[in-house]
Structure 1
Amino acid sequence: TVMPTLENSLILTAYIIIFLTGLPANLLALRAFVGRVRQPHPAPIHILLLSLTLADLLLLLLLPFKMVDAASDFIWPLPELVCAVTGFGFYSSIYCSVWLLAAISIERYLGVAFPVRYKLSRRPVYGVIAALISWILSFGHCTIVIIIQYLNSTQRLTNESSIICYENFTAEQLEVVIPVRLELFLVLFLIPMAVTIFCYWRFVWIMLTQPHVGAQRRRRAVGLAVVTLLNFLVCFGPYNVSHLVGFHTKVSPKWRAEAVLLSSLNASLDPLLFYFSSSAVRRAFGKGLQALRHRGSSLLGRRGKETAEVANVDRGVSQTEGAPSSDYTTD
């Protein structure tokens, strides 16, 4: 059994924390968005947020394999096919999240910049089309993971049964990997990041300068923009910069494992974005917190005193379960 180094042990610990925090929050958000999408004429934003939740859940469900890899000191202990499938799903979910975040920023901008026209023209099919484009772009590009796997992309060690998953490429494999990684940086990161920054800059400016917008909605608008920007800079930025560094140096940077770890942190940050984006999620989180507090008070022998407070967490939210979200549009 290979024991992980201290650095890899810290990476393993971080993966465990991301998994334990991200999974319940995304499952709670999934329940809320499924309820919204199942209602007649769902808003495109809820279809996009549901797709983003599914992308996060795919990443989280693959994290145990990344944990196994880190626990084995990044000497892959499982079959090569599992390495290929894990890498394909993991990296596809990351880039799908990037484009979905860009699509959400476009929807938010249109909702406040052209409120009347947007309300009259929005259709659920637009959200479905945007989500499908995001999934096709990401999964289509990341098929390179499978292709490289069949080109013996994993570097075999002296022990023929041991491999390093999707790292330490040979010169022949680098001829394929490095240009593709540059394309991933440009098409699946730089372009959607530029779109997102522009849309949220306009979105926040409009929200802060309109006199009829309440302080609570302004705070949520700024929170939404900040969380999304953190996603791009902290989570997706280092990993994609590693592509650019690898293109110039012709080798993967030594800090690539840490960059991949930061990418998975996105699954724990997105629930904050859901909270700022959707009243349905705020209600779900409020009910979840209420249930936890009720259970805690029951264990301590105090029943029913503290649970009423959570219902008022967000007074700006409609208390009707089926009410449409009115965060940033003219619903």
Structure 2
Amino acid sequence: MTGNSSGGFKLDNTTRALFLNANTSIAISVIYAIVTAINLTGNGLSMWLLVFRTSPKTPSIIFMINLTVTDLALGAALPFQIAYQLQGYHWSLGPLMCRVMTVVFYTNMYCSVLTMMAIGIDRYLGIVRPIQFRQTRVKKSIAVCSCLLMWGVVLSVLWPLMTTDLTFDVPELGITTCFDVLKKDMLPTQSAWAAFLFSMVFVLFFFPFCVTTFCYVSVIRKLSRDSKTAQKRRVILLAFIVLLVFTFCFAPNNILLLAHTVLRLFYDESLYMAYKLSLCFSCLNSCLDPFIYYFASKDFRQKLREVINLHSLSSTDSMKMDRKESFYSSAHYGGEHRHVSLMPSTP
């Protein structure tokens, strides 16, 4: 919610009800605890496989490493959010840690969105535009620069959150909140607020969502005319997971953020309870990302099977499968072996 920093500030009924609802706080904390356990386990294993066991580092692998970094950062921040919830929305770690935790939350969301878009574009070029892809394949150095650019864009948009004290004293409840009461004077004018919301919702979410959807729908249409049913099934599963992350994890939070802020600024109404719950569910993307890696990268699948000893295929069967995937999985450009797997080699 938004409020002024004046001493006469009063909570709206919706936000007060949220702060006083112990059951909601416990439920959100339980979800965060489950997400933290799955996040750190799944993404910790993914990071080890991607960094130390997967080679060569193709552009898609680099994008997946970038995605894993943001997920692990969220996993490290969630315990602080759990403690905050269980203490009745009282933040005792100071303004700096509040800013760090808030920025980590939103950086994870929007870096994930942009990284999934990059992976979708990579798959689109490799499957739908293979001729042009061979000539314009993204180099590893460009992939690294793209990841740095993503972080730069996201942090630039989130700059107001990085430079503002996001804690707020609520004397009537005896608590200090963290990003649950957002000061109206964080930005100087309503135009600045409009630009901030537009950048977050439309630039960092809606546009990448449209691009990602176009890429995966185009890939599915292309593969629907192909007889390689195994590859087709895998890429459809990948597209389903990616679009699930967008629609279930990211879309509700961004839509409610826009609606709540507009209602609060202009009509003195609130959707904060729904927004708070959507922010909680947005963290589930970090649990689904390892599944994206599995369906996106042949190398990742093979290394994972080696680690957990799931060699269900004989060497002959494996060779047959490798040959079956070879059309999409690899190509030689200038003597360098590059992976062009159906899924990003990753949402």
Contact 1:8 1:73 (8 Å CA) reproduced: yes
Match of residue 117 from structure 1:
132
Indicate which of 225, 232, 235 corresponds to 2:249: 235
Instruction: Give the distance between the partners of 2:226 and 2:84, measured in 1 at CA.
Output: 51
Q: Alpha-carbon deviation of 1:181?
A: 2.6
Q: Secondary structure at the match of 1:138?
A: helix
Identity of paired residues, percent?
26
Counterpart-to-counterpart distance in 2, 1:38 and 1:286: 16
1:11 maps to amino acid: I
Whole-angstrom distance in 2 between the partners of 1:88 and 1:186: 18
AA in 1 matched with 2:167: T
Q: 1:66 corresponds to which residue?
A: 81
Matched, 1:253 2:253: no
2:126/2:340 contact within 8 Å kept: no
- 2: CA distance, partners of 1:26 / 1:170: 35
1:180 alignment counterpart:
196
Please give the residue correspondences for 1:207-218 in structure 2 after superposition, counting only pairs within 5 Å: 207-211=223-227, 214-218=228-232
1:280 corresponds to which of 281, 288, 299: 299
Cα displacement string for residues 262-283 of structure 1 (whole angstroms, at most 9, x for unaligned residues): 1110100111111100122212
Q: Distance in 2 between matches of 1:34 and 1:317?
A: 23
AA aligned to 1:234 is F
**1:76-116: CA deviation from partner (whole Å, max 9, x where unpaired):** 13222111111112211211111001111000000001223
Note the C-alpha offset of 1:15: 0.7
Offset of residue 249 of structure 1: 0.2
Tell me, in whole angstroms, the C-alpha distance in 2 between the residues paired with 1:242 and 1:311. Answer: 51
- Residue 140 of structure 1 is matched in structure 2 by 156
What does residue 95 of structure 2 align with?
A: 80
Per-residue deviation, 1:177: 5.0
In the superposition, relative to structure 1, how do residues 46 and 308 fare at CA in structure 2: closer, same or farther (>3 Å)? closer
CA shift for structure 1 position 147: 2.0
Larger relative contact order (CA 8 Å, sep ≥ 6): 2
RMSD of aligned Cα (Å): 2.9
Select which of 157, 161, 175 maps to 1:162.
175
**Of residues 79, 98, 118 in structure 1, which corresponds to 2:113?**
98
Distance (whole Å) between structure 1 residues aligned to residue 172 and residue 97 of structure 2: 19
**Aligned residue for 2:326?**
none
Alignment of 1:13-28 (within 5 A): 13-28=30-45
Distance 1:117 1:145, change over 3 A: same
Q: Which runs of 5+ in 2 are unaligned?
A: 1-18, 324-336
Is 1:226 matched with 2:218? no
1:131 aligns to 2:144 (yes or no) = no
Answer 1 or 2: which has greater strand percent.
2
SS at match of 2:89: coil
Letter in 2 for 1:114: R
- State the partner residue of 1:48: 63
Which of 7, 19, 26 is residue 9 of structure 1 equivalent to? 26
Q: 1:83 to 1:43 in 2, by over 3 A?
A: same
Matched, 1:200 2:200: no
Task: Tell me if 1:34 matches 2:51.
Answer: yes
Whole-angstrom distance in 2 between the partners of 1:311 and 1:240:
47
TM-score of the superposed pair, with normalisation by structure 1 = 0.82
Q: How far 1:129 sits from its partner (Å)?
A: 2.5
CA contact (8 A) 1:88 1:142 kept: yes
Alpha carbons 1:141, 1:184 under 8 Å: kept? yes
Secondary structure at the counterpart of residue 243 of structure 2: helix
Contact kept, 8 Å, 1:3 with 1:71, in 2: the verdict is: no
Cα distance, 1:185–1:200 mapped onto 2, change above 3 Å: same
Shift of 1:169: 2.6
